[in-house]
Amino acid sequence: MKHILKCENCGAYTMKEKCKCKGKATTVVPAKYSPQDRYAEYRRKAKGLI
């Protein structure tokens, strides 16, 4: 199953690994949620949410 990718350069969405602008496309699917996530508090602190 393929996911929608987003270009790092121009921000366009594509299904290909490379965008039309020759930029690299990365996944935009969020990570799975786990209530036992040990590092969630550290990530929120790093983002300035806590």
In the prediction, which pLDDT does 47 show? 83
Q: What is the pLDDT along the chain (50 residues), one digit of tens a residue?
A: 478 899 999 999 999 999 999 999 988 877 777 888 888 888 889 888 77
> Domain range spanning residue 24?
1-29
The residue with tokens 């590092």 is 39
Q: Is residue 7 part of a domain?
A: yes
* Domain presence at residue 10: yes
Residue 47 falls inside a structural domain:
no
Total domains in the chain come to 1
Whether 43 is covered by a domain: the verdict is no
The neighbour count for residue 12, using CB atoms within 10 Å, is 13
Residue 40 covered by a domain: no
What does the pLDDT read at residue 2?
Answer: 76
- Using one digit for the tens of pLDDT, what is the confidence trace for 28-41? 877 777 888 888 88
Distances (CA, A) of 46 to 6, 7, 32, 43: 24, 24, 19, 5
What's the rounded Cα separation, in Å, for the pair 2 and 21? Answer: 21
Q: How far apart are CA 11 and CA 19, in angstroms?
A: 9
Q: Is residue 39 part of a domain?
A: no
